[in-house]
Amino acid sequence: MKTLKHWVLESKDQHQVSLRFDGKHTLLIYVLEQNLFRIVIKRHDQFRLDRTWTVCPDNNDTEWQGRNRDSLEGFTLPGFTVESSEQQIAIATETLRLVIHNPLWMEWQQQVDGQWQSFAQDRKTGAFQISPQGTGVAHFMHRHDDEFYYGLGEKTGDLNRAGRRFEMRNLDAMGYDASKTDPLYKHIPFYITRRETASYGLFYDNLASSWFDLGNELDNYHIKYRSYRAEDGDMDLYFMYGSKVLDITKAFVQLTGGTIFGPKWSLGYSGSTMQYTDAPNSQELLQGFVDQCAEQAIPCDSFQLSSGYTSIGNKRYVFNWNHDKVPSPEAMSEYFHQHGVKLAANIKPCLLHDHPRYEEARAQGLFIRDSEADEPEISVFWDADGSHLDFTNPDTIAWWQNNVKQQLLDKGIDATWNDNNEYEIWDRNARCAGFGREIPISLIRPLHSLLMMKASYEAQKQHAPALRPYLISRSGCPGMNRYVQTWSGDNRTNWESLRYNIKMGLGMSLSGLYNIGHDVGGFAGGKPDPELFLRWVQNGVMHPRFTIHSWNDDGSVNEPWMYPEVTPAIRQAIDLRYQLLPYLYNALWQAHSQHEPMLRPTFLDHESDPQTFRECDDYLLGQDLLVASVVEPGQRQRQVYLPANGTGWYDFYDQQWFCGGQTITLAAPLEKLPLLVRAGAVIPTSSRTAAVNKDQDNERQLAIFPLMGSGHTQTDLFDDDGESYGYQQEQYLHLAIQMTCTGQDINLQIQRTGQFQPAYTSLQLQLPESETRRLIINQKTYVSGDRLDLASL
């Protein structure tokens, strides 16, 4: 690796500044937005890979062949100033200033009282390194003692990543230790640095395997530093600045294409287990699950069909139906649909060598090729050898999409579960078609999981163009947020996983993956005991994805009714989710339309309260619900720190009000999840478990949690038919609610827009029982329990 040191200013224009090193390497600085700069190094004036698939600033999508790395489309490209000398050059917008020193190190500055003040610096003794041979890059920054680090996607351990070293190398880490295993399934080379004075994000647009060291490494020849190192690829760094952590998360989501707006049913309970589809009477068991849901009064909106339906013997073969297990996929799908349950089928991107269609795919050249021979690459996959499909080959995409439609969608399957797509190919120079320009696998391994999602996504859109697609994927990289819901992979059944999966989910959310969840009850290992299972369900219902899934060592199945002694409490927790489903759906809409995270660490909305940065097990669902999951056995009381929000918090159940900025103790009996609501919030709820069905969803409540004193808040509520694109043509219901509280009145001004007419025609108003102030809505007086007609708005 060679350290870049002495530079000369080569050129500058209205969008970029170019520096030259040793007469052969170029460093480019692009000013993309007021708070977004891009740093690019071209070795020998060339990119190692001249395309990207992760950057998508216009919230549309990238072309199959990728986006040209030189493209500036989608950015506002504001004006900037340049001041230069032989020793430094300063590039500034109205809010962000970059000073580049000679020898090379960078210093980032913000405006404080009209003066530029430094808040981030590179390591002065070598900031950027490149391999002149074309592989390998590194970046080193100075590490301050007051810095917190968040992000890097799906990582184990504490939410603050300081002091640890992490690797990006997608692996099928079944049964991982949620406190320390690394690496895992996803490749998200992005993290946020938070200081008291500023927050900023670093996104390295590089899909090669890489390492982040955030304070684990020490070197006597350098001051304290942190580093990014990649084994291949380009140094293509996006630097985003903001006053708050939330600013950075939202900027990164916008940069990578936003969050897919899935159907409402995707937020309902989704059943799944490996055992049903592995059993010889699979169809009988699967249909029996639907019957049991009805018998147990457990609402369910979807079921995730594990890969056993494709088996021959004990192996799995994508797009193959085992008709001994599932005699009629069409009849099975119809049975599920008759009961209001959608089906998502597991699919895998690797064909075992004895797959019935392996030779067909081989003859068509659909596989990634070996580095040395004109043969498909060979990798270990599910206890056998197989070859991975090459999604940079248009013929592979067409073959995949035809099979998704013919083998799944035409048989009544509603969605795809894109699984085992880590692409564990260790022949670094295995060859990918690259849409006509060959690319070694070492440069783009996570890209295949992204393009697999895109292929499945487009197949579903082509099959049902009027419906919003729902997809799931385990592995991925930045940009997967455009296509899928995801989860934290094959977790191990224990209390530690329950606790650290919460932190893992928050880390994913800060990294732009908003629609996430975990395998409730634990996937691998022994089955959960009744207490652990119940506490896991109570936590799971407060995540965007709620799926009970398992592959227990003893062959048992994690089902809501697996322990009769806690089934009533399980039912109560699931009913709570459906009660809050209108609120969850509104949070999904805000994630899609405003880039707002659905799961939020408590500091995200309360940075002025330093206590919220302490590691804890609490989090916010949306901006208004504070969830205090019980993650320890035998615990029947729960201490909860209430962030100092200036308005206080209500207990969700008895509406007792508490002042923020204090720790309280709440009762946490086995059947109860401690839950609080931000004072000033208006929470839409449903009293029906059929809240995802637009025709049956004929009840809606507005739970109003007023400010205790005087003040003003605003709430925006969204609803639509839950499945179509009608909202793009004003077929939606939007309520803009302005709440003004005084000592005498609670005054709501509600403005309605949109043309959607829901099945519910009124909103039942609910206030805390202790509330005695007068409720006024649009100049008319109401009392708690009254109905507000939508037609009057």
Alpha carbon 723 to its chain centroid, in Å, reads 21
Residues 192, 240 contacting (CB under 8 angstroms): no
Coil vs helix vs strand at 241: strand
Q: Rounded to an integer, what distance in angstroms lies between the CA atom of residue 424 and that of residue 443?
A: 13
- Class of CATH domain 599-678: mainly beta
Instruction: Name the H helices within 630-784.
Output: none
Coil vs helix vs strand at 253: helix
**pLDDT at residue 356, as a whole number:** 97
Backbone phi, psi, residue 503, to 5°: -65, -40
Q: Which residues pair with 629 in a beta bridge?
A: none
Pairing of strands 350-352, 379-381: unpaired
- Three-class secondary structure assignment of 720-764: CCCCECHHHHCCCEEEEEEEEECCCEEEEEEEEECCCCCCCCEEE
Q: Which residues contact 470 (CB under 8 A, 6 or more apart)?
A: 262, 263, 265, 266, 302, 342, 344, 414, 415, 460, 485
CATH superfamily placement of domain 2-255 = glycosyl hydrolase (family 31) (2.60.40.1760)
Q: What is the DSSP string of 150-181?
A: EESSS--S-SS-TT-EEEE-----TTB-TTT-
The two structure tokens encoding residue 576 = 């709570």
Q: Rounded to an integer, what distance in angstroms lies between the CA atom of residue 418 and that of residue 486?
A: 10
CB-count exposure of residue 420 (10 Å: 0-12, 13-18, 19+): buried
Residues 248, 242 contacting (CB under 8 angstroms): yes
Q: In Å, how far are 216, 596, 639 from 667, measured between CA atoms?
A: 40, 31, 9
Q: What is the DSSP string of 257-271?
A: T------GGGGS-EE
Task: Return left, alpha or beta for 78; rule: phi > 0 is left, psi -120 to 50 is alpha, else beta.
Answer: beta
**pLDDT at residue 690, as a whole number:** 67
Within a 10 A sphere around the Cβ of 49, how many other Cβ atoms?
Answer: 23
**pLDDT at residue 770, as a whole number:** 94
Q: Which residues contact 519 (CB under 8 A, 6 or more apart)?
A: 487, 488, 489, 490, 491, 547, 548, 549, 550
Q: Rounded to an integer, what distance in angstroms lies between the CA atom of residue 672 and that of residue 535?
A: 9
Within a 10 A sphere around the Cβ of 98, how many other Cβ atoms?
Answer: 22
Residues 270, 303 contacting (CB under 8 angstroms): yes
Element (H, E) at 288: helix 282-295
Coil vs helix vs strand at 525: coil
Task: Return left, alpha or beta for 11; rule: phi > 0 is left, psi -120 to 50 is alpha, else beta.
Answer: beta
Alpha carbon 352 to its chain centroid, in Å, reads 30
Q: Which residues contact 23 (CB under 8 A, 6 or more apart)?
A: none
Coil vs helix vs strand at 208: coil
The two structure tokens encoding residue 497 = 């996983």
Low-confidence spans in the chain with pLDDT less than 70? 689-690
Q: Nearest-5° angle of CA 186, CA 192, CA 194?
A: 150
643 upstream amide cis, omega within 30 of 0: no
Q: Rounded to an integer, what distance in angstroms lies between the CA atom of residue 709 and that of residue 702?
A: 20
């408590």: which residue's tokens?
A: 602
**pLDDT at residue 130, as a whole number:** 96
Residue 32 C-beta-side C-alpha neighbours within 13 Å: 25
CB-count exposure of residue 179 (10 Å: 0-12, 13-18, 19+): middle
- Amino acid sitting at position 446: P
- Amino acid sitting at position 400: W
Range 40-45, long-range pairs (CB < 8 A, 24+ positions): 40/69, 40/234, 40/235, 40/236, 40/237, 41/4, 41/128, 41/130, 41/137, 41/234, 41/235, 41/236, 42/234, 43/130, 43/131, 43/132, 43/134, 44/132, 44/134
Coil vs helix vs strand at 410: helix
- Nearest CA to 269 out of 461, 540, 453 is that of 540
């697609």: which residue's tokens?
A: 469
Instruction: Name the H helices within 433-510.
Output: 441-463, 495-510
- Nearest CA to 382 out of 315, 320, 445 is that of 315
Residue ranges, CATH 2.60.40.1180, the chain: 599-678, 682-792
Q: Rounded to an integer, what distance in angstroms lies between the CA atom of residue 587 and that of residue 585?
A: 5
Tell me which architecture the domain covering 682-792 has in CATH.
Sandwich (2.60)
Element (H, E) at 290: helix 282-295
- Nearest CA to 503 out of 641, 635, 618 is that of 618
Residue ranges, CATH 2.60.40.1760, the chain: 2-255
- Nearest CA to 728 out of 756, 700, 751 is that of 756
Coil vs helix vs strand at 508: helix
- What's the predicted TM-score (pTM) here? 0.97
Within a 10 A sphere around the Cβ of 729, how many other Cβ atoms?
Answer: 9
pLDDT one-digit tens code per residue, 162-211: 999 999 999 999 999 999 999 999 999 999 999 998 999 999 999 999 99
Residues 510, 481 contacting (CB under 8 angstroms): no
The two structure tokens encoding residue 312 = 């021959």
- Would you say how long the chain is, in residues? 793
**pLDDT at residue 696, as a whole number:** 86
- Nearest CA to 264 out of 637, 711, 721 is that of 721
Coil vs helix vs strand at 18: strand
Residues 560, 574 contacting (CB under 8 angstroms): yes
Instruction: Name the H helices within 597-739.
Output: none
